[in-house]
């Protein structure tokens, strides 16, 4: 039987825009952890490093949905290039500020400007949706993109931390900026697969956040993002305390590898029943998997625990994208996907900042209490909002997974 992943790329242009998306998304995993590594090496202040990473994430959370809303109205090429130039200029300022020990406020201003980086994952998923909406291939496409995200998180931290520790402190963030520039300009040069913009602001009913279901997803992923942000910062400090700071990149890569494996398998499957139930199960799995981190005492055990913890990430994210496609109007799809990324970014900001202060106050091992608490909050919010996810928006045709099931039955 032909692989459903191979069938995805039968449409012209899909290989090129997917490759550009991979390149442009590398900074997603490299910049934040690169800033933490860079600043902690130069200053020795994990609190400052976590706060700067949080500032970058909060800025992306504030700016990202507005960039994506403009993309929905005016198109990817016209919006992404100027936004990327702003982000690159601010990133250059941040690297110079660290190198020449400029005042802390300059670091925070530059970190905030770097947050204007576009959400490349949302842009690529919007291209897949324009090609395969309402077909089984869209479930596979979302699964593939989740795997791409995890590939970035497998190799990104290794490259970023490795370069910053072995070469010079600014090397990781510098390479991340280069990847961003190359990926965005390559993607926006591919206009044949660019989704058709919707210039009428009234079309689609205003902001995507008018969807109650989307608000539930975003709120839950604020807590989920806090898990990710805290795990990144605490793992670097945990490895540093044991004299193997460079090993943090390998440990974090295994966290992403667990998600990558689960995403590949999940994309091969077709599910019946309500996707919101699988979503809630995934959120619960992410929360429960944080508990063993409180008990580990060495890097090998931590690596195993994080690999197992990663198994619930990609399936949850894939199902989330299906729920967004169900509840958000097509004219606001890019914005809707970006709002989930925004929720994650806000959570990363909160988690990395809280973890940084916890490490400074009580050490790295105590810092793993931050993702454990964040996971519990995610489960509570998910359960409280679960019923909202069972009310599809008027005029929507069902989730990608439901479409897939119907199409498979029709073919049988």
pLDDT digits (tens, 9 = 90+) for 20-52: 999 988 887 788 778 888 888 887 777 788 788
How many Cβ atoms are within 10 Å of 66's Cβ, its own excluded?
15
Cβ pair 181, 352 in contact under 8 A: no
User: Which pLDDT does position 61 carry in this prediction?
Assistant: 76
Note whether 254 and 336 are within 8 A (CB).
no
Per-residue pLDDT band at 396 (split at 50, 70, 90) = very low
The least confident of 114-128, 212-226, 268-282 is 268-282
To the nearest whole number, what is the mean pLDDT of the chain?
A: 81
Determine the average pLDDT of the residues in 249-272.
Answer: 80
Average pLDDT over residues 376-388: 88
Give the count of domains, the chain: 1
Q: Which range among 60-74, 304-318, 354-368 has the greatest average pLDDT?
A: 304-318
- What is the pLDDT, as a whole number, of residue 285? 92
Phi-psi region of 220 (alpha: psi -120 to 50; beta: other; left: phi over 0): alpha
Question: pLDDT-derived band of residue 410, with 50, 70 and 90 as boundaries?
Answer: very low
Contact 279, 321 (CB under 8 A): no
Domain of residue 116, CATH code: 1.20.1250.20
Average pLDDT over residues 156-180: 85
Q: Is residue 382 part of a domain?
A: yes
Q: Is residue 177 part of a domain?
A: yes
The pLDDT-based confidence of 394 (bands split at 50, 70, 90) is very low
Is residue 174, in this structure, part of any structural domain at all? yes
Q: Which residues of 70-79 are buried (b: 16+ CB within 10 A; e: fewer)?
A: bbbbebbbeb
> Using CB atoms within 10 A of its CB, is residue 393 exposed (0-12), middle (13-18) or buried (19+)?
middle
Residue 78 lies in a domain: yes
CB–CB of 352/57 below 8 Å?
yes
The answer as to whether 168 is a domain residue is yes
The verdict on residue 121 lying in a domain is: yes
Q: What is residue 89's predicted lDDT score, i.e. its pLDDT?
A: 93
Buried b or exposed e, range 90-109, using 16+ CB within 10 angstroms: bbbbbbebbeeeeeeebbbb
Contact assessment for residue 389 and residue 279, using Cβ atoms and an 8 Å cutoff: yes
Helix (H), strand (E) at residue 172: helix 171-188
Domain extent at residue 56: 13-185+209-397
Q: How far is the C-alpha of 199 from the C-alpha of 187, rounded, in Å?
A: 21
Quote the CA–CA distance of 304 and 298 in Å, as a whole number: 10
CA 386/CA 401 separation, integer angstroms: 18
CB 339 within 8 A of CB 222: no
How large is the average pLDDT for residues 152-181? 84
Calculate mean pLDDT across residues 86-114: 89
Sign of the Cα torsion 355, 358, 360, 365 reads negative
Q: Is 204 left (phi over 0), alpha (psi -120 to 50) or beta?
A: left
Residue 297 pLDDT: 79
Mean pLDDT of 143-160: 79
Q: Minimum mean pLDDT among 114-118, 206-210, 219-223: which range?
A: 206-210
pLDDT at position 161, please? Answer: 79
Please tell me the predicted confidence (pLDDT) of residue 49: 82
Look at residue 272 in the predicted model and tell me its pLDDT: 67
The pLDDT tens digits of the residues spanning 288-307 come to 999 998 888 788 899 999 99
pLDDT at 12: 87
Percentage above 90 pLDDT, the chain? 17
- Indicate if the pLDDT at residue 379 is higher than 90: yes
Residue 249 lies in a domain: yes
Check pLDDT > 60 for residue 406.
Answer: no
| CB-based contact 271:370 (threshold 8 Å) | no
Cα separations (Å) of 227 from 65, 286, 348?
Answer: 22, 9, 7
Residue 259 inside a domain? The answer is yes
Question: Coil, strand, or helix at residue 248?
Answer: helix
Residue pLDDT, tens place only, 319-330: 888 788 777 777
Q: What pLDDT score does 354 carry?
A: 86
According to the model, what pLDDT value does residue 86 have?
92
Alpha carbons 274 and 172: distance in angstroms, whole number: 42
Integer Cα distance of 275 and 38 in angstroms: 41
Among 75-79, 124-128, 159-163, which is the least confidently predicted range?
Answer: 159-163
The pLDDT assigned to 171 comes to 86
Is the pLDDT higher at 402 or at 383? 383
Tell me what pLDDT residue 206 has: 61
What are the strands, taking DSSP E only, across 117-257?
none
Identify the pLDDT of residue 133.
79
């Amino acid at each position: 039987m032909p692989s459903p992943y191979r069938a995805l790329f039968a449409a012209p242009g899909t290989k090129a825009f997917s490759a550009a998306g991979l390149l442009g998304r590398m900074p997603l995993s490299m910049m934040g952890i690169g800033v933490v590594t860079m600043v902690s090496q130069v200053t020795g202040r994990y609190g400052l490093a976590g706060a700067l990473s949080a500032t970058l994430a909060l800025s992306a959370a504030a700016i990202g949905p507005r960039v994506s809303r403009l993309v929905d109205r005016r198109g990817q090429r016209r919006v992404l290039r100027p936004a990327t130039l702003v982000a690159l200029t601010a990133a250059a300022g941040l690297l110079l500020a660290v190198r020449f020990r400029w005042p802390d406020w300059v670091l925070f201003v530059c970190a905030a400007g770097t947050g204007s980086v576009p959400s490349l994952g949302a842009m690529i998923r919007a291209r897949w949706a324009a090609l395969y909406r309402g077909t089984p291939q869209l479930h596979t496409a979302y699964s593939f993109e989740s795997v791409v995200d995890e590939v970035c998180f497998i190799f990104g931290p290794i490259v970023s931390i490795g370069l910053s520790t072995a070469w010079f402190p600014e090397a990781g963030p510098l390479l991340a900026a280069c990847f961003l520039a190359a990926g965005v300009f390559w993607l926006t040069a591919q206009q044949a697969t660019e989704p058709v913009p919707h210039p009428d602001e009234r079309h689609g009913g205003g902001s995507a956040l008018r969807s109650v279901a989307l608000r539930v997803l975003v709120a839950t992923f604020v807590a989920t993002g806090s898990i990710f942000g805290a795990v990144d910062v605490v793992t670097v400090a945990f490895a540093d305390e044991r004299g193997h700071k460079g090993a943090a990149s390998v440990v974090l890569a295994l966290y992403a590898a667990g998600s990558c494996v689960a995403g590949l398998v999940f994309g091969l499957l077709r599910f019946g029943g309500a996707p919101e139930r699988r979503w809630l199960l995934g959120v619960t799995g992410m929360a429960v998997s944080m508990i063993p981190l409180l008990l580990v005492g060495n890097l090998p055990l931590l690596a195993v625990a994080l690999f197992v913890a990663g198994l619930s990430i990609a399936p949850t994210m894939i199902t989330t994208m299906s729920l967004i496609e169900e509840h958000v109007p097509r004219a606001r799809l890019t914005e809707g996907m970006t709002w989930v990324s925004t929720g994650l970014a806000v959570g990363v900001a909160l988690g990395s900042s809280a973890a940084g202060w916890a490490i400074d106050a009580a050490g790295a091992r105590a810092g793993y209490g931050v993702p454990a608490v964040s996971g519990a909050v995610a489960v509570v919010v998910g359960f409280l909002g679960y019923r909202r996810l069972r009310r599809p928006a008027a005029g929507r045709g069902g989730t990608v997974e439901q479409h897939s099931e119907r199409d498979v039955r029709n073919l049988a």
